[in-house]
Amino acid sequence: MASLSTNPSKKAIRSPGGSSGSQVNLKAEEQYVSNSLFTGGFNSVTRAHLMDKVIDSEVTHPQMAGAKGSACSMPACDGKVMKDERGADVIPCDCRFKICRDCFLDAQKESGLCPGCKEPYKLGEYDDDGQDFSSGALPLPAPDSLLVLIRFVVLGFFLAWRLRHPNEEAVWLWFMSVVCEVWFGFSWILDQVPKLCPINRSTDLDVLRDKFEMPSPSNPTGRSDFPGADMFVSTADPEKEPPLVTANTILSILAVDYPVEKLACYVSDDGGALLTFEAMAEAASFADLWVPFCRKHNIEPRNPESYFSMKGDPTKNKSRSDFVKDRRRTKREYDEFKVRINGLPDSIRRRSEAFNAREEMKMYKHMKESGADPSEPLKVQKATWMADGTHWPGAWTVPAAEHSKGDHAGILQVMLKPPSNDPLMGGADDKILDFTDVDIRLPMFVYVSREKRPGYDHNKKAGAMNALVRASAILSNGPFILNLDCDHYIFNCKAVREGMCFMMDRGGENICYIQFPQRFEGIDPSDRYANHNTVFFDGNMRALDGVQPDKIAQKANSELKPSDFDPDLDMNLLPKRFGNSTMLAESIPIAEFQGRPLADHPAVKYGRPPGALRVPREPLDAATVAEAVSVISCWYEDKTEWGDRVGWIYGSVTEDVVTGYRMHNRGWHSVYCVTKRDAFRGSAPINLTDRLHQVLRWATGSVEIFFSRNNALVASSRLKLLQRLAYLNVGIYPFTSIFLILYCFLPALSLFSGHFIVQNLNATFLIYLLTITLCLIGLAILEVKWSGVALEEWWRNEQFWLISGTSAHLAAVLQGLLKVIAGIEISFTLTSKSAGDDNDDIYADLYLVKWTSLMIPPIVIAMVNIIAIGVAFSRTIYSKVPEWSKLIGGAFFSFWVLAHLYPFAKGLMGRRGKTPTIVFVWSGLIAITLSLLWIAVNPPKGTSTEVGGSTFQFP
């Protein structure tokens, strides 16, 4: 192991306790096979399946094809009022004088006076620095393994005591509670044991740059020796995933700080929508201005929507004198870009109506000339038309045969051609801005919509990703892939370099993928439904990074052979495994070779020689594009191993988890990378219904994993014990919902029956309970301090654990059982990214109450517990011998349940007048029915007491 000064990825620092986790975006090699499957692109545009030609059109950039240039610049500023990150107007003066950001900055620099009241501005500068998630050494050791051991021992004694001391007065209540407690203890062990070896990692980008990009005797020109990286962005429905959001994500990728000639971006439109296609063409056009602007002024973040909506002084750390002018012009162009994007639906509709009317007139004229009966209705298909006057080969607005979401031709359009290997410097007169001494090249960009036909299982998102893998292997063949959702953008332009620190370091040949934590914007300040998932991303996932073995097995041979990566791989059987594309098969060893670390140290047994990747990329030709079209056809995967041993694995709605498991099960390693500046940011559903459906999808995927051959119980010996336990927990955690719902009803049953889970609240029970609770609190505090999670975030996570456990997780278990037993397939709808009806409130969607059956169990639990508290309190008050201990015990646990359900109840309230009456009617009826049923089955025994004209019977 070399010293930290020579390795771009520093040695991991371990701690004897803590927490962390697993699941995110950047991925790099699954096995020898997957190395070649990493692809990407962005540059010239082609359309295919029945058509093998490249679409030619007017261009404005040396790489552009298929998109027109930006509009001319305007002489004066027409900027809009400043916005904060919530989208609300920012009025910087007490006089409420509205002003745009650029004019505000000009006023501050010239006089410091408000143009409205002529008084000095009183507000200070905003700070635009994002939250700092440190990736350095652990801030403090996390010695909670001792607490884990103490709680484990106490839990064992407690359960033993509970088994030996049943409640003879209510054996049924005692038995149900013990069963639940045993399961909770087992589930807690599965969750805690893999967290005993947390690990933090850090990188050194300067070392990486010196090693791969600085001039040297072997590289006098300083040409980059980085491997290629292909960026994948997936979208499926432009109505629920706005094209403007996808376009901003694409722009952040095109402007990433990575060698342009090594980068390629691919967008997968699984809906085959012309709206998405034309929005991507607009994004490629605007990139001609946006990307060089980012490079010239070192803009961060490089998502234009996020950048222009940030509060703070935009001139901070900017040294060029023309920055303000450039920014103002770019902002005007971006506003026009947004207008064009938002106007595309209406533009496509009007264009299609005009072309359809023309076709109708032609047909009417033909009927008239042929002497046909003019009274017969004309049968003209309501087609969707492209700007060049041809039918869109994808899905039409009015679905028709061979033109619907599940039935359309494959489309592949290269919107930005592969750039030249040498920098292309701009000038002072060829652009809106002066880009003298600025590299104006753009990365390759490709639009892909795979072919879909009825009768084929298209395997949802996993199938779309595999189509991208095959197309990119032929077009760009980058050895590494970055996988992003359409609403997650690159917040840190050096994020790809951060990942390369691990891939290109010694031992990187054994790393299959790198995970980054997901960070979210637009979440309500209180994070009512734990949407940030900080406990998971900063606690659980970081801890799970440490369950892998310290030592990475070294290969004995100095030359790497295919069998070193996959013992079952026979080069002669590549067509059977990968399909009949010769280009695809030939790309596999090339990508594997390019993905190796540099052979610049004796410890690197098999690496690539320095300088091997400085060879210019060959330009695309018609045959290559045609081959890429053929591999996205719906029949290409027939009788191959795609989705089984190659690419993203099929059979689960959580394809990323299954694929990660398969890679780990084959002996590969992964890395969890937390960067100082967030690598990626995106959006998350803040509405209660959408949040529950999101959790339902994740939990259903876990149930599918549990009932499949991807269960960790049948894993190979290459999966280590702690890894096995972690993956076992992934498949088991939804089943906790069965016991959790039962346990949430136990307090109410206790209050109704007048009994408790123990016969007497004696000192032994209370001491055990107190010790377990204190250990749990201690573990939570240490975990919070180690991971940097706030206590409020931890509590929100606990609350939503109960909310989701009593709703979405239970539904996931039922759906999984239906699929296994009855073969009923599970279908999910995309979560809408649009906000609520109130455009002035960025959190309007938070208050929407959309009915779903997932709400029934938590509502019933809450109402039954409230009714039980009232019944038990009344009975105790009027009882001859009040048993306050049982009332207090049952009421305490009922309040525990209700406290966890508080965010759920708050979400049901919505805003005044917006809560559906059906929610309360049905829930109230169910709760009251259950309460009366219990009283009828087990009526209280004792004397009768008349109160207020009503007769009560008490024990």
Provide the residue type at 68 as one letter: K
Q: Which residues are catalytic?
A: 270, 656
Instruction: Give, in degrees to the nearest 5, the angle at Cα 622 between 619 and 623.
Output: 100
Query: Residue 473 corresponds to which tokens in the numbers above?
Result: 């292997």
**Which strands form 488-490's sheet, in the order they lie side by side?**
488-490, 680-683, 519-521
What is the residue whose two structure tokens read 């222009």? 308
Nearest to 403 by CA among 268, 267, 240, 271: 271
Q: Is 576 annotated as a binding residue?
A: no
- Helix, coil or strand: residue 215: coil
List phi, psi (to 5°) of 614.
-95, 5
Contact status, residue 653 vs residue 585, Cβ threshold 8 Å: no
Q: Are strands 519-521 and 680-683 parallel, antiparallel or unpaired?
A: parallel
Q: What is the DSSP string of 584-652?
A: HHHHHHHHHHHTSPB--STT-SS-BPTTTT-SPPPPP-HHHHHHHHHTTSTTTTTTS-BTTTBSSPPSS
List phi, psi (to 5°) of 25.
-110, -50
918 vs 510: CA distance, rounded Å: 56
What is the residue whose two structure tokens read 């892909």? 448
Q: Is 300 annotated as a binding residue?
A: no
19 vs 538: CA distance, rounded Å: 8
- Indicate the helix (H) or strand (E) that contains 432: none
What is the residue whose two structure tokens read 């990703």? 465
Q: Is 461 annotated as a binding residue?
A: yes
Q: Is 460 annotated as a binding residue?
A: yes
794 vs 783: CA distance, rounded Å: 10
Q: Is 630 annotated as a binding residue?
A: no
Nearest to 445 by CA among 633, 227, 285: 285
Query: Residue 849 corresponds to which tokens in the numbers above?
Result: 């109450």
What residues are paired with 100 via a beta bridge?
Answer: 81
Nearest to 617 by CA among 444, 415, 424: 444
Query: Residue 261 corresponds to which tokens in the numbers above?
Result: 């000639």
789 vs 922: CA distance, rounded Å: 38
749 vs 136: CA distance, rounded Å: 50
159 vs 174: CA distance, rounded Å: 12
235 vs 447: CA distance, rounded Å: 11
467 vs 450: CA distance, rounded Å: 7
Angle, helices 655-665 vs 721-732, to 10°: value is 160
Contact status, residue 250 vs residue 67, Cβ threshold 8 Å: no
Binding residues: 234, 240-241, 270, 460-461, 485
